[in-house]
Amino acid sequence: MLRRGGHRFAIVATMSAAALAAATLAAPARAASDAPRRPQASGAWRIETAPDPDSQQKNFSLATSAVTDQDATFSLWCRPAMPLYYFAIRDARLALPSGAEVTLSIRYPGEEPVRWQVASPGNGSVVVQERVHQTAFSLILLSLRQTTATRVDLAIDDHRWTFRLDGFAPSLAALIDACGVEPDPARATARERSGPTPEMQQRNLPDPRRLMPQAK
């Protein structure tokens, strides 16, 4: 009887040890599954990074390529060091000098186009910066957040592009999470609110040659 009882005790002890080991291994996996998932870029959008030349931080962008030209991009950039957000359209065919002002046309399917004056920092790009172009930046971002359209048409002079919009909302959440701060056009100094000088506007225009990933 004692021998049989000891054998039974050994089996129970072995099973208990196995159950304890399984529970120990499952705990980290359960904790990981219970942790809130960080937002991810999805659909037509991707998160890109570039070093900030003026700080030790990275700059982040939410970018998508034109439907018929993968080298042409429409992106929303964030510079956490400032902090600063800006939209950028980049196409090597945009032969514009630094500081040039052009008209950007934005049209959603079935709607009339809306036009904004925007600036070029050169190098085939135009930008809509949240401080310098507060109204344009705010309304463009608002329209992208609220639209149910699956694409948007952008035009500058004779250059036209169509960009897909699917996945913008969750992708924007991923960009904000990476940047650590929300877009906020009102985040300007009192001097900038009273009206930026031409020197200040030029200072705030990002140089895409330093901030954007270079073509390989």
Q: pLDDT at residue 41 above 90?
A: no
Domain ranges of the chain: 1-35, 46-211
For 142-188, what is each residue's pLDDT tens digit? 999 999 999 999 999 889 999 999 999 999 999 999 999 999 988 76
On whether the CB atoms of residues 150 and 23 are closer than 8 A, the answer is no
For 44-63, what is each residue's pLDDT tens digit? 999 999 998 888 889 999 99
Q: Is 31 exposed, middle or buried (0-12, 13-18, 19+ CB in 10 A)?
A: exposed
For 2-31, what is each residue's pLDDT tens digit? 455 555 545 444 545 555 455 555 555 454
Q: pLDDT at residue 197 above 70?
A: no
Look over the chain and give the mean of its residue pLDDT values, rounded to a whole number. Answer: 80
Rounded (10°) angle between helices 134-146 and 168-179: 130
| Sheet containing 159-164, strands listed edge to edge, beginning at the edge strand earlier in sequence | 46-51, 58-65, 73-79, 84-90, 125-129, 114-122, 101-107, 151-156, 159-164
- Among residues 66, 179, 72, which one has the least CA distance to residue 130? 179
Fold of 46-211: Immunoglobulin-like (2.60.40)
